[in-house]
Amino acid sequence: MVRTPSADDEIFELRLARSAVDLFPMLEALYGAREDYPAFRASLLKTLRKGWADRPADLKRLDLQRDLEPDWFQRPGMAGYVFYIDRFNGTLQGVLDKLDYLEDLGVTYVHLMPCLKPRSGDSDGGYSVMDYRQINPAFGTMADFEAVSAALRARGMSLCVDLVLNHTAKEHAWAKKAAKGDPKYQDYYLMFDNPDLPNLYEQTLVEVFPDNAPGNFTHYPEIGKWVWTTFNEHQWDLNWANPAVFLEIVEVMLFLANRGVDVLRLDAVAFMWKRLGTRCQSEPEVHMLLQALRACSRIASAAVIHLEEAIVSPGEMLPYLGRGKHDGKEGNLAYHNSLMVQFWSALATRDTRLMTHVLATHFPDRLTNATYATYIRCHDDIGWAVTDEDAAAVGLSGHAHRNFLSDFYEGSFPGTFARGALFQVNEETGDKRISGSFASLAGIETDPDLATQRILMGHALIAAWGGIPLIYMGDELALPNDEGYLTVPEHAHDSRWIHRPRMDWPLAEARHQAESPSAQVFRGTKAILARRRATEALHAAHPIRVVPTGIDALFAFQRLAPTGTLLGLFNFTERWQHLPEQIARTLGATQLHDALSGTPVLPHHGQIALPPYARVWLT
């Protein structure tokens, strides 16, 4: 008897046909010359079919819904919240207990920081994963994880988790087999019999953690190998030139998708492909791999989108959202690192010329099937990604400006309001990165009132830019630095833990009654997200255009919606500024209505008065 294809079978075949053109040309370019390519291709199709067959019915319905609403993640109702589970409320059950809080804030996207099973001890904050299919037992079980994903889905919230693509922990089952001499699994990693090739590679590689993990290779005398370890000795880089690695990761992606994950945050993607004589970052094959991985998700779990973590220069970052042959086919989301860096730069200098130049020059007014994850702070350090060329364009020395920013936000520059900490000082290059919470870098210890306004201006900026604004846990309550990390042995060497405090739940419980800076920031942030939801002009597909105002203190951009222009205005100083009414009208704000406050803006003597750290969404 011939089996009649089911509706599910037909849907799979339709999605396979839709994405085949995005998938197979990439795989053929990467692996087509290998003898095992036909077997690999057959195995991949089998994996995709099994992933689809195993997908729960409610998630298949979500696949269909998002196929019909492909802009779901670009809509202004999207707003994200990012946290470490243990710092937020201990466990996955603790997350369930606090969903009312997230809903109150206006969150529709929840990023659980690394929650897959890490190695014990130092795990690079959870990014040294030893099992992709288990949850960190300190947080709960996979059943607990699925309960959280279901509860979020019931509230209209999307779930994001980290999937580390560049490396595994050396305790991962693959690595253990490789260490025992299994040639199949040794080919999963980049292992060398002598230091000759590692020494050649090192000539052009950069050190990510020069203080505590110098170099990019580790020698293991007990196994007679030099292993590529870009980030830490315990993180072994995967060999993506081996198609078996691609197949393994696709299986993991579909496993997580079928547990209810909506957004896969693909970690450390820039480092995935190695080429002698280069930095081994953002090589062309990286984009082929990422396009192929996205195609696999679109075939077997169409509701899932990809956030590609590439904290690189603007020209290097944009291809992760698709450029050239990858346009509209690669990442759905990528971090807008430049917006974050330029926010802090303009805040320190009280001058938006560099910010205006960088954001107007290097970024397109819209993206295809993709958008930005916008943020002011995250779990990581701040690297001052300001090029010498961009600095020179506004009359600055790049080297001097980067040093100034490090000094200012460390708190050593005369007159600074900030209180941060240095991270990974590179004496050879002079590179000094910065750690610190949003509130402490904004001056909560030195001037709480002005710091409150700086924080709210930052949240209003990322909410209006377009994309998904991400609020890092505690920033909505203006939580300061946590110096307690210095007493924790596995954290003390890493100043990034200064801005990873534990959630202050008593402070959060008082958010609607108190008049503290913390309560003001919460209520202000909640209002910003509510106004964002109500402002259709902030849909990420509408073009954005950075525009000069002639006033160095002000940063401005237009959101060019079919219903009319929205003009974002931001005062980066603690002084009142005045914008001629005619300039605002010329830039499209013909009604002079503030969509953020919901009130009209009344000019005085032909001038729009903007108080310190003002944020206005003029229509």
Element (H, E) at 102: helix 99-105
Backbone angles phi, psi at 50, to 5 degrees: -65, -40
Element (H, E) at 220: strand 217-220
Distance (Å) of CA 272 to CA 139, 161, 266, 541, 599:
29, 19, 11, 30, 49
- For the chain, percent helix, then strand, then coil, each to nearest 5? 40, 20, 40
What does the alpha-carbon distance between residue 324 and residue 364 come to, in Å, rounded to a whole number? 13
What does the alpha-carbon distance between residue 202 and residue 146 come to, in Å, rounded to a whole number? 43
What does the alpha-carbon distance between residue 46 and residue 44 come to, in Å, rounded to a whole number? 5
Note whether 81 and 105 are within 8 A (CB): yes
Backbone angles phi, psi at 215, to 5 degrees: 80, 175
Angle at 152 between CA 150 and CA 154, to 5 degrees: 70
Catalytic residue among 162, 171, 267, 594: 267
The pair of three-digit structure tokens given for residue 6, joined into one six-digit string: 């089911």
What does the alpha-carbon distance between residue 527 and residue 505 come to, in Å, rounded to a whole number? 20
Angle at 351 between CA 346 and CA 355, to 5 degrees: 55
Element (H, E) at 569: strand 564-571
Q: Beta partners for 118?
A: 129
The pair of three-digit structure tokens given for residue 331, joined into one six-digit string: 């990442």
What does the alpha-carbon distance between residue 195 and residue 441 come to, in Å, rounded to a whole number? 43
Angle at 51 between CA 91 and CA 304, to 5 degrees: 60
Pairing of strands 305-308, 217-220: unpaired
Query: 101: alpha, beta or left, given left = phi > 0 and alpha = psi -120 to 50?
Result: alpha
Answer yes or no: 309 catalytic.
yes
Element (H, E) at 528: helix 517-533
Note whether 167 and 238 are within 8 A (CB): yes
Q: Helix (H, G, I), strand (E, B), or coil: what is residue 268?
A: coil
Answer yes or no: 482 catalytic.
no
Element (H, E) at 264: strand 263-267
Nearest to 409 by CA among 379, 383, 391: 383
Nearest to 528 by CA among 201, 241, 107, 88: 107
What does the alpha-carbon distance between residue 423 and residue 400 come to, in Å, rounded to a whole number? 18
Catalytic residue among 63, 171, 309, 431: 309
Note whether 557 and 544 are within 8 A (CB): yes
Q: Beta partners for 470?
A: 80
Could you give the residue numbers annotated as active site?
A: 267, 309
